[in-house]
């Protein structure tokens, strides 16, 4: 039986682990933290269960990524739908994003044709993705699968081709909407959280799908978003797989051009690494971290990538304990606040607020609710400041906290007086808890479908999974990527004999 090691218990790693364990391989997941989920985990602090990163979850609709996994693995995720998905507060109006799009059309009445086209494109994109669309293709087998999917959906799929070659902003020009500053700002705010960049740069086909989240549905997970990861862990274990915590991988061992296992260390006080032999390694991490794991064995193309690729976004986050009576009756659980119409989004100019639902009493002490507030931020500035002047780093952290609380106070008068706990975090904090390069979250901006990153790494039996590979962002996106990776690994192991020299593996396991 082939052994597969998966580095990291994020949603991508766990999903691929469950699919591969079900397929008959022996899978071991090594996770550095004491709980699963990575950037989509839930942690416990002073009676609160806070979301580590992601707070909005979609992909449970028919043929959605999570629904596909439920069917394939014969399992159910503990979810409840929330409508409206969220309310976006612009300087001159508030817009509720609902499944029927009623308020969006009411507040932007000249956009109906745009939304009709968006829904048509997105519906076809979801249909194609449900058919194991391997994009971008990186082998003859994947190209053949891509052609099969294309022929199976011909000629309907022809209608999406023009959108693969334009930006959302160019698409808006088709409809004469690019001069509507408020509508463009509204779309930019949605795209920043779902595609990591704004309308001038987001690929239109990807953007159409990213803008479909409210229509397809936003869901709460019982006990917090980490419930997705926990359900996957339980499924892996029921199938005979292994998920081990507090194991921090330090190196992928490569011999004769192939990985033969990983070195990892258990907990903070261990003095030596242990060796885990493997016939295949999947890294649920970023390209930079994979490059570090491979060290001198990092392929030339991967080295070039990490030297040239622009860094992704990070997040500044506030985890708050708030008294329940701070909020008006029927106050939605998710809100987006845009503070002005001119400044670049992020860096406290755009905020996303998520409240624990009133029905989930596991999330906060009696009479209180857990709240997460995030804003996009550039990661490098925090590290440079910390290294140069720790006092200035602390001051900037306090300044961002103050600016965010002041903004929320304008939406919820008296909000500050109801706070019982304030926990700020920067990309430095994310790095500590997730071990992701510089604390980046959310994957790469989706500007071109033809420059999207595949799972391939340059080493035949090593793959990436997670938000670094297409389609990237969100638990739904990383789940689609994980399905592709699992299929790719199964094909590889079916045609490739176990390569690792057994005597070498036995020798290394004792070092």
Q: Of 230, 231, 236, 229, which Cα lies nearest the Cα of 27?
A: 236
Name the residue range of residue 405's domain. 313-439
Q: Do residues 196 and 114 share a domain?
A: yes
Residue 271 within any structural domain of the chain: yes
Domain boundary among 216, 239, 260: 216
469-498 confidence digits (pLDDT tens): 999 888 999 999 999 999 999 999 988 755
Q: Do residues 328 and 284 share a domain?
A: no
Q: Do residues 358 and 416 share a domain?
A: yes
Q: How many domains does the chain have?
A: 3
418-431 confidence digits (pLDDT tens): 999 999 999 999 99
Residue 91 within any structural domain of the chain: no
Q: Name the token pair of 304.
A: 């070039």
Mean pLDDT across 278-290? 97
Beta strands of 256-340 (E only): which ranges? 258-266, 274-277, 280-283, 313-323, 334-338
Evaluate if residue 112 carries a pLDDT over 60.
yes
Q: Do residues 396 and 461 share a domain?
A: no
Per-residue buried b or exposed e for 411-421, using 16+ beta carbons within 10 Å of the residue's own CB: ebeebeebbeb
pLDDT for position 497: 59
Q: What is the spatial distance between Cα 356 and Cα 403, in angstroms, rounded to a whole number?
A: 22
CATH of the domain at 483: 3.50.50.60
Evaluate if residue 442 carries a pLDDT over 60.
yes
Q: Do residues 230 and 272 share a domain?
A: yes
> Residue 129: which pLDDT band, with cuts at 50, 70 and 90?
confident
Q: What is the spatial distance between Cα 212 and Cα 368, in angstroms, rounded to a whole number?
A: 32
User: Taking all residues of the chain, what is their mean pLDDT, rounded to a whole number?
Assistant: 92
Q: Do residues 169 and 254 share a domain?
A: no
Given a contact cutoff of 8 angstroms between Cβ atoms, the answer to whether 2 and 219 are in contact is no
């Amino acid at each position: 039986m082939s052994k597969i090691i998966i580095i990291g218990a994020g949603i991508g790693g766990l999903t691929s682990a469950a699919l591969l364990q079900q397929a008959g391989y022996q899978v071991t997941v090594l996770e550095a933290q004491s709980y699963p989920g990575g950037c989509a985990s839930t942690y416990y602090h002073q009676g609160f269960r806070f979301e580590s990163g992601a707070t909005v979850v979609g992909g449970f609709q028919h043929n959605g990524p999570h629904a596909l996994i439920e069917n394939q693995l014969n399992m159910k995720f503990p979810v409840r739908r929330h409508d409206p998905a969220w309310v976006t507060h612009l300087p001159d109006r508030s817009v509720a994003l609902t499944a029927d799009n009623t308020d969006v059309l009411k507040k932007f009445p000249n956009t109906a044709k745009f939304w009709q086209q968006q829904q048509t494109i997105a519906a076809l994109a979801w249909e194609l993705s449900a058919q194991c669309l391997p994009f971008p293709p990186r082998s003859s087998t994947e190209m053949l699968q891509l052609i099969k999917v294309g022929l199976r959906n011909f000629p309907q799929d022809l209608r999406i081709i023009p959108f693969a070659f334009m930006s959302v902003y160019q698409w808006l020009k088709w409809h004469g909407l690019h001069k509507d500053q408020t509508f463009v700002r509204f779309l930019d705010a949605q795209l920043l959280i779902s595609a990591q960049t704004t309308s001038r740069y987001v690929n239109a086909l990807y953007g159409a799908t990213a803008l479909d989240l409210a229509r397809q549905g936003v869901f709460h997970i019982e006990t917090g978003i980490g419930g997705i990861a926990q359900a996957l862990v339980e499924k892996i274990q029921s199938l005979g797989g292994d998920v081990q915590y507090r194991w921090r991988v330090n190196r992928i061992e490569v011999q004769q051009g192939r990985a033969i296992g990983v070195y990892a260390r258990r907990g903070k006080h261990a003095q030596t690494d242990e060796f885990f032999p493997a016939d295949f390694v999947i890294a649920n991490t970023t390209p930079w971290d994979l490059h570090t794991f491979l060290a001198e064995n990092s392929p030339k193309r991967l080295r070039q990538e990490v030297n040239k690729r622009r860094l992704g976004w990070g997040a500044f986050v506030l985890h708050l304990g708030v008294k329940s009576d701070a909020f008006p009756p029927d106050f939605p659980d998710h809100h987006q606040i845009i503070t002005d119409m001119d400044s670049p989004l992020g860096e406290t100019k755009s905020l996303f607020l998520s409240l624990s639902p009133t029905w989930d009493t596991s999330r906060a002490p009696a009479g209180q609710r857990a709240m997460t507030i995030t804003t996009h931020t550039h990661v490098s500035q925090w590290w440079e400041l910390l290294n140069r002047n720790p006092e200035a780093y602390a001051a900037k952290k306090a300044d961002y906290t103050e600016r965010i609380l002041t903004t929320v106070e304008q939406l919820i008068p008296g909000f500050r007086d109801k706070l019982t706990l304030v926990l700020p975090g920067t990309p430095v904090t994310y790095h500590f808890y997730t071990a992701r390069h510089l604390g980046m979250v959310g994957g790469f901006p989706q500007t071109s479908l033809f420059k999207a990153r595949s799972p391939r790494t340059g080493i035949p039996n090593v793959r990436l999974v997670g938000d670094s590979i297409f389609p990237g962002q969100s638990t739904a996106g990383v789940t689609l990527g994980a399905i592709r990776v699992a299929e790719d690994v199964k094909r590889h192991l079916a045609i490739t004999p176990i390569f690792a020299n057994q005597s070498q593996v036995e020798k290394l396991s004792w070092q």
